[in-house]
Amino acid sequence: MDSRGRIGPGTDPAVGLLERLRGSDAAASILPRLPYDFDLGRDWAADDWPLELASGESLTGVASSGGGDAFLLCGGDERRPLIHYDGASGMTVLGRDLAESLELVLGVPCRWDVMWALERGGRDAALAAYEESMADLAADHAEEPEDGIDVVAAYEEAAGELGLRVLPGAELIDRWARSAAVLGPALTLLWVEEPQAPVVVGGRYPRAVGPAGSRV
- As a whole number of angstroms, the distance between CA 185 and CA 5 comes to 36
DSSP string, 114-163: HHHHHHHHHHHHHHHHHHHHHHHHHHHHHH-TTTS--HHHHHHHHHHHHT
Strand order in the sheet with 59-64: 59-64, 70-74, 82-86, 90-95
- In a domain, residue 21? The reply is yes
Predicted pLDDT at 128: 96
Predicted pLDDT at 6: 43
Domains in the chain, number = 1
Q: What is the mean pLDDT of residues 13-24?
A: 88
Q: Kindly report the backbone phi and psi dihedral angles of residue 34, in degrees, each rounded to the nearest multiple of 5, phi listed first.
A: -70, 160
pLDDT, one tens digit per residue, over 44-73 is 555 577 889 999 999 999 998 877 788 999
Domain that holds residue 151: 17-200
- In a domain, residue 8? The reply is no
Question: How would residue 193 be classed by pLDDT, with cut points 50, 70 and 90?
Answer: confident
Residue 73: its H or E element: strand 70-74
- In a domain, residue 206? The reply is no
